[in-house]
Amino acid sequence: MDQRHDRRPVASRAARTRGENRRERKFQTRRHDSPLREGLPGRLGRRSHAAHRGSGLPVLTASSCPNACREQPAWELFASERGFRLLRCPECGLGWTDPPLGDEEIGAFYPPAWYGENNVRFNPVFEALVRLFRQRRSAVIRRRSKPGPVLDVGCGRGLILGELKRRGYRPYGVELSEHAARHAVHQAGAEVHVGDLQRAPFPENYFEVVIFWHSLEHFREPLKALDKASRLLKPGGLLVVAVPNSESLQARLSGANWFHLDIPRHYFHFGLEPLRRAVQDRGFRIAQIDHFSFEQNPYGWLQSLYNALGFRFNFLYDFLKNSNARMTPLRKHPVQALGVLLLLPVLLPVALILMAYEAAAEEGGTVELYAIKKA
């Protein structure tokens, strides 16, 4: 209606406008250039930068996407008290942590305890589950490739390399941590390059399989890492990538409470489409995308729910570590530990239901991508 002929009081017209705006937001599609779907409840969201002015909405920044998109402002989804911002490109949807830490600084976030003591990271029950999941993963890789040289980038303790070696593969790894690399050599008899992937002395067109299992998001230049992987793989070789899905239902509902956010260790935050495009642009054919991960997604929901309820951040994760690491949170926060245990029978079924729903909707909290290098 032309405002000149609208004789209703100004307040009525304003109410009508607000109602139209609400309806427009309600039916807004999921676009990268619209940050409204990125609600950020929880402690990190409430600790947002002053530029948000308490609105809870992202703001535009002068930073531009590192993914060669056209120059335009990025969305600042939130800024934490520790000085890190989560930014997202409105063009391609890629998210990144700002500022990125250098090698010396980021090392403080990966102490030896991060990889476990004596090659054991979690308590015995969960350590057995971890090894069971590695067996399943190696079986999937075997079905999609033939035995030969396999490279695990960010191999950690070498558990998956050990399983693949038992299936006839020749194990190689890349790992920044000397502590973890020693375990990988002992665990799998792997040849491990300690240092940057770009400097790894492996021949091109050599590997049957290259794996980035929740490691690609830890690279300051992940697209260059994929370029390197493409050169190292034989034609017809298999690329395996698993990452947290920053555009998933789990990420959107959890916001700053999301377990898989993991700032500042995660330099980049991939949605499925930015990941798919990055892989295809480097000469790969997508063979499979899996949204169902019993290893990652139920726990992602469970820990995010605890975070949203106000427990110490990622307290359950600390609780599940090996005995030495576990005793510190138990001694310091016995009441919270009791609360975690009491709520577990309630929250675990909820997490399993949400996991099943997100997998059916193809919005898994983490995604696994399998791609074949074109000849």
Per-residue model confidence (pLDDT) at position 164:
97
Predicted local distance difference test score (pLDDT) of residue 31: 38
Centroid of chain to Cα 371: 19
Beta-bridge partners for 269: 95
pLDDT of residue 109: 75
pTM confidence score: 0.80
Radius of gyration of the chain (CA): 22
Block means of pLDDT (10 residues each) for the chain, length 375 residues? 39 41 34 37 35 44 67 74 83 87 77 59 75 92 97 94 97 92 90 96 97 95 96 98 96 92 92 94 96 94 95 84 57 86 96 97 96 95
Query: Cβ(33)–Cβ(94) under 8 Å?
Result: no
Going from N- to C-terminal start, the domains of the chain cover 30-99, 106-373
Token readout for 363 is 């919005």
Name the packing angle between helices 334-360 and 297-308 (round to 10°).
Answer: 130
Tokens at 13, concatenated = 């017209």
Structure tokens at 335: 């009441």
For β-strands 207-213 and 233-244, DSSP reports them as parallel
Residue with tokens 């060669």: 68
Side chain identity, residue 128: A
Name the amino acid, one letter, at 334. Answer: P
Element spanning 367, H or E? strand 366-373
What local confidence, expressed as pLDDT, does residue 19 receive? 43
Look at domain 106-373 and name its CATH class: alpha beta
Predicted confidence at residue 46, as pLDDT, reads 34
pLDDT at position 50: 31
pLDDT score recorded for residue 62: 58
The dihedral through the CA atoms of 154, 163, 208, 370 has a sign that is negative
Half-sphere exposure of 37 (CA within 13 A, CB side): 20
**CA atoms of 276 and 288, how far apart (whole Å):** 11
319 touches 49 (CB < 8 A): no
What is the spatial distance between Cα 31 and Cα 267, in angstroms, rounded to a whole number?
Answer: 22
Structure tokens at 271: 């949605």
| pLDDT value at residue 78 | 72
